[in-house]
């Protein structure tokens, strides 16, 4: 857990990421859109970790990549603090965006797919240093060795290839690459979901230690609720492209308000057989609707156990129902 800082580093307003669906072989026309991220707003304070949770396919990873401008958002604004001012990344041209990229990095989900098998560890970790003209030659070599040591790897692994490492070691290489250019903000895109359970704790401890040592700010994307509770300061819950609830970590886990959050937490196992036996599971019926044609009104209305008529007609607004606790649900109108 990081020290709480009230200075906002990142502010996202009404972010949308729609992917067009095209039809036709010669003349392609757009026949619809996949609404992967559909009008979300959030902020992250300097030095804190915001956990982003939800089912697979709800738009978590797309949100992270749209924030970093790896995807060009369909609409909305992404403000990042620079020299005391908030700069809108969505308005920057490619050349203007490059110096901002030095301050934002990503750790990918799959350590097997995210490392180039033809490059040595030294080449992989050192590549950002050359791209951003920070170091080359002997200076780059020393920096790469320093980074490998920082993430708990032997600096003499510099000439080895990714296939010579285990999954946990590969993810450490990914972390070293993300840290190469001294970023302030890192999107951790499910960085432990592809790893063995025994290795997951090591990577989480590494990320926490680096945050404390380097003053990093994280957007931690995951679907493992126990991990999110351990590492996050605040938690945002996502369903079908929209945020449904945001609150401080303990507040959200102890007093979940949105029916989807309640169902999500009821499905997470608790390592206490007495509590586990007494608590009631909330079983959601039906499947998650398609993001191509989401339901009218509230996206969760087709599966909600407490659905009302207004839920099927009117989309709920995000409201602050307690200090720092926001929820989008008609139950709290």
Same domain, 165 and 188: no
Does residue 223 lie in a domain region?
Answer: yes
**pTM, 2 dp:** 0.91
Same domain, 178 and 228: no
Per-residue model confidence as pLDDT tens digits over 65-109: 999 999 999 999 999 998 888 999 999 998 889 888 889 999 998
Closest by CA position to 213, among listed 175, 156, 158 = 175
Structural domain range at position 88: 8-103+183-199+212-332
Dihedral sign (CA 52, 288, 35, 27): positive
Same domain, 226 and 133: no
Same domain, 266 and 320: yes
Same domain, 168 and 191: no
CATH number of 284's domain: 3.40.50.300
Residue 99 contacts residue 144 (beta carbons within 8 Å): no
Per-residue model confidence as pLDDT tens digits over 197-251: 888 889 999 999 999 999 999 999 998 888 899 899 999 999 999 999 999 999 9
Same domain, 155 and 87: no
Same domain, 93 and 157: no
pLDDT given for residue 271 in this prediction: 66
- Per-residue pLDDT, averaged over 4-20, amounts to 88
Same domain, 96 and 158: no
Same domain, 189 and 265: yes
Does residue 204 lie in a domain region?
Answer: no
Domains contained in the chain, number: 2
Q: Which helix (H) or strand (E) holds 186?
A: strand 185-189
Does residue 265 lie in a domain region?
Answer: yes
Does residue 111 lie in a domain region?
Answer: no
């Amino acid at each position: 857990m990081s020290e709480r800082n009230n200075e906002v580093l990142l502010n996202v307003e009404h972010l949308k990421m729609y992917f067009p669906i095209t039809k036709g072989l010669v003349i392609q026309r757009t026949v619809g859109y996949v609404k992967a991220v559909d009008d979300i707003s959030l902020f992250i304070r300097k030095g804190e970790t915001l956990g982003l949770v939800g089912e697979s396919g709800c738009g978590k990873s797309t949100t992270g990549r749209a924030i970093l401008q790896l995807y060009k958002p369909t609409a909305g604004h992404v403000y990042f603090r620079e020299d005391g001012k908030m700069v809108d990344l969505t308005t920057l041209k490619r050349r203007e965006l490059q110096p901002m990229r030095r301050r934002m990095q990503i750790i990918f989900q799959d350590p097997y797919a995210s490392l180039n098998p033809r490059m040595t560890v030294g080449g992989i970790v050192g590549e950002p240093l050359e791209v951003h003209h920070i170091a080359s030659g002997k200076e780059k070599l020393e920096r790469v060795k320093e980074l490998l040591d920082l993430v708990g790897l032997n600096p003499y692994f510099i000439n080895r290839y990714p296939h010579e490492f285990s999954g946990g070691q590969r993810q450490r290489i990914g972390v070293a690459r993300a840290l190469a250019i001294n970023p302030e903000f890192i999107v951790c895109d499910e960085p432990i979901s592809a790893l063995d359970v025994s290795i997951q704790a090591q990577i989480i401890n590494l990320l926490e230690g680096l945050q404390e040592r380097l003053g990093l700010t994280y957007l931690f994307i995951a679907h493992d609720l126990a991990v999110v509770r351990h590492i996050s300061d605040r938690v945002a819950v996502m369903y079908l492209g929209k945020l449904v609830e945001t609150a401080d970590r303990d507040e959200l886990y102890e007093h979940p308000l949105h029916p989807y959050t309640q169902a999500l937490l009821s499905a997470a196992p608790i390592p206490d057989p007495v509590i586990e036996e007494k608590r009631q599971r909330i079983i959601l019926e039906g499947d998650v609707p398609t993001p191509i044609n989401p339901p009218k009104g509230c996206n969760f209305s087709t599966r909600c156990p407490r659905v009302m008529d207004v839920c099927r007609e009117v989309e709920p607004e995000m409201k602050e129902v307690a200090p720092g606790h926001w929820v989008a649900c008609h139950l709290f109108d």
